[in-house]
Structures are given as C-alpha cells and as structure tokens.
Structure 1
Amino acid sequence: MSSKRYPEEFKIAAVKQVTDSGHSAPDVAQRLGVSQPTLYEWIKKYSLPEPERLEQQSQSGEIRRLKAELKRVTEEGDILKKGRSVLCQRVPVRYAFIESEEVRYPVRRLCRMMSVHPSGYYAWKANPASERDKEDQRLLGLIKQSWLESGGVYGYRKIAHDLRDLGESCGKHRVYRLMRQEGLRAQVGYGRRSHRYGKPAVVAINQLEQKFDVEAPNQAWVTDITYIRTHEGWLYLAVVLDLFSRQVIGWSMRSRIDSELVLKALLMAVWRRNPSGPVIVHSDQGSQYSSHDWQAFLKAHGLVASMSRRGNCYDNAVAESFFQLLKRERIRRKVYLDREEATRDVFNYIEMFYNPKRRHSHANDVSPVEFEKQYFNRLQSV
C-alpha cells in the first residue's frame, strides 16, 4: 500500500491523528496501511503552523508556475523560429509541420502557435477506412478551422459559405451534420433557455438492481452523502464503499454539498484501488451525481454509472447502512464545536476503526481490510 497516492485531505487528517488526537505514529501507520517513513514525511510537511505552511506552499507553487511559464515561453519562441515560413501557408501545410514537430513539443501548443484547432489536426492525421469518412474528416478539419477563426460564433450556414469561398462543394446540411457530431454550435446570444425543474440532468440505468453481494473487489461501488451537525454549521460527508468487503475506499468532507464533494470522494477511491476493469458506481439521482462533471469523470476512468430509481431507498441500502453505523457508534455520542473537530473524528472512525478493525457481519465477522486480505491470500494459494 506504500505505493498508493493519497489526496492532501487524507494526509492532513492522518497527521492530525498523531499531532492532535494523541495516537502514536507507528499505530496510525499500521492502521492506515502506510509506511512509517511516509507518515513521518507527512507530519514534517503538514504539522507546520498554518501561516508558515500556506506561505511555503504559496512559494513553491509560485516557483512551479514561473518554471512552467518560462518553459512555455521558450518552447513558443522555438516553434515560431522553426515555423515562421509556414504560418502563412495553407492549413494542410501547417498540419504537416505540426506532425513533424509533435515529438518535441505538445500538440496543443503547436496548434495554438500555428493558429489551427487541435481537433482539425487530428482529423487530418487520421486515416479513415472509407473515402467518404476520409472526406468527412478533411471537411471537419476545415469546419473547425473556420469555427475557431470566427471565435466560436459561426453556425453551419456561415461556415458553409466559408467552405464555398475555399472552393469546396459542400452543402450546408452536410456541414450541419458534421458540426452536430462534434458538438460545435453557434453563439446564441444572452436569452435564457427554458428549464424543466425537478428532473436530474443525467439519469443512468440501474445496473446494480439490489445485487449487493459481489464475488471480488472492484466490481461494484456505492456512494452517497450524509450531513453532520456542528456548532459551526453543517459538515457534509460523501463516501464510496466497495460492495465486496463494505470497505470505505473513498471519502470527502466539505462545508458545501456540491459536485466537488462527491468527485473528491470518487477520486480518492480511484487512487486507492486503481481498478483494472470497469466498475459499477451506484448512486441516487441527486444533482451531484446527475451532473455532467460526474458523468465525465466516470467515463474518463472507465467507471459505469448506475442510479437508484426515484423514491426507492433500498437500492442504496449499503451506503445508508454505513451512515447509520457511523452516526450510532460515533456521531451521536459527540458534540462537535466546529467542522474541523468533526472531520478529525470521522476520519478516526473510518480509517482507524471501521476499515482496519471493526468486524462486519457481511465480511465473515472480520474487518473489511482483513476480509480483502484473506481473499487475495486465497487467490495466491490456488
């Protein structure tokens, strides 16, 4: 587990178990499954006073930004020196130059310096199977170039005129089809569109269908959100559980219930588990899970969206069961002065007790971590 990546939120909470809660560093390292040198490195980094730590992070961030800016300016200067003679050439000539230099410089930077769209370049570079597809890809490159040069405001009619001026015999309906396939649209002004409130933006099919017993880790995850009362205000907790062992593999806590809350929890799960195949991620139809950001994240990481039917609380019973345990065994026994205290205590429950120590009836009365360890030991012995 020492090679795993952990988000900063996890590291800070782990350090506070040593600095604020009185646990020994070896005990915290053992329960979290990280090496002691790694934990001591976190302590060294995050136990500084907040102003000093923020100043240190700010300075290092500024240095990184300046280095990146210097690298960008240097590369752009080199590109201009090499490509000055092709800047006024036709688009295909500029595409050929980009192809010759893409091993040295990022493609997007080359495209920006050559005043072409990256999608148009990749369309030019592709080799479709049929002549019709090849012609469509060539036209699409010209369409994107025209759309880019218009500042993203041209629709298919004006772009069709641009193509005719270039000598292309292409009808407006073909331009419309190609633009629709690529999601290119004209700028439509400032009028407000009509909305239908009360319905989620994206609804996924229920892939889980209450099949809560799976045969191996990383086949199905469930996720949900709950709230925790503090004197400072509400603290919202999002978790991701693996149905195989009921282990909490991802979590995030924030003062706001938004899409970033659930995305951070899922990102932690992806970092910790690094699944090799598709994983079902089941949720309710809340606005956080039906957002386009959530769906885009799932698609980018090979995860399969699954959603409960509206009004059916049983489809996400595993996550609800965990929240009941958390509140019964820890939260209702405490009165939190602020969100920081609640965050520290919830971390302690999840990572120091529930995952590595608490016996779970579903996991043959061993802890979720131990249950998975036994499973992998059986695989190795076969």
Structure 2
Amino acid sequence: MKMIKEWQSIFTIAELCSIFNISRATYYRWKKQEKTVTNHEEKTVIEICQHHKYRYGYRRVTACLRDQFNIVMNHKKVLRIMRKYNVLSRVRKKKKIFVLGHEPVVAKNRIQRRFKATKPNEKWFTDITYLMFGNKTLYFSSIIDGFNNEIVSYKIAETQ
C-alpha cells in the first residue's frame, strides 16, 4: 500500500492496483483507515485539559472539542490521548459529611493520664502516624500495650 502511495504521482491508482494485484476498493479502504490522530488534535486535547486545570474528564473534553473547536472525535480516542500524555482528570476525595443534629460520640476518659499498666493487656492505647511519600499519604494505625509499650496490632492504609 505504501508503494502505491509513493508511485501515484507517476502512475494512476488503477494501474498501480493492477500491478500489485489488489482491487481499487481495497486500496481506498486502506487509505480511509490510514487517517490517525493528528498532532494538532493531540495538542488541542492537552490544551483543553491544561486550560481547565485537569478537572475535565474524557467525556467533557470530547464535548468541548465538538462544541468549541468543531473537532469530531470518538470519546475512546480522547481517552487514549489523555492516557498517553498523562492528562487525566484529577479525582478529588469526597469530604466527610456530618449530619446536623447528631453530636459525635466521645468515649469516656477512663485513663485520666495514668498510662502505666501493672500487667499485660490491662491498658491498650491507639496511635495514628501520618507517613508522607511525595503526593501520597499513608496512615499507620497501631494498638500499643500500656504495660511494656509493645505494639499489639497495626495497620497501614491509604485512608483513615
């Protein structure tokens, strides 16, 4: 097919197709499928994402391309471009909603700042440590025995 494209300035498409023993319909079908994402379209998708501070998802970017730039592009192609250049929308974590009228339950202070225990498993304490790794935060939650400060149990999680 590439040979036909190179020689079409000298010969007609019909002559080249007969030389390479393929039908003209096959050549034109190949030529139609040859159309790929242009650099201009990729740049436009990236510019839309940057302009809207990475808040738009691929569906909204597709609608923006269609409405503002008159570029008709399949949403899956937009998603592929966004993945290729790592400009996917940033998903914010939902904030916890507290229901008005319901006070949070606060446990009674039974320790009264007397942290030392006389025997194992008499007093347990919890602790949460925030571990920062670049943009990522991990939470280290532990249960500590008050007798010998031994960690009874722990869990590392991405959420509290």
Q: How would you bin the TM-score normalised by the shorter chain? A: 0.3 to 0.5
TM-score of the superposition, structure 1-length normalised? 0.16
| Higher fraction of strand | 2
| Higher fraction of helix | 1
Higher relative CO (CA 8 A, sep ≥ 6), structure 1 or 2? 1
Larger Rg: 2
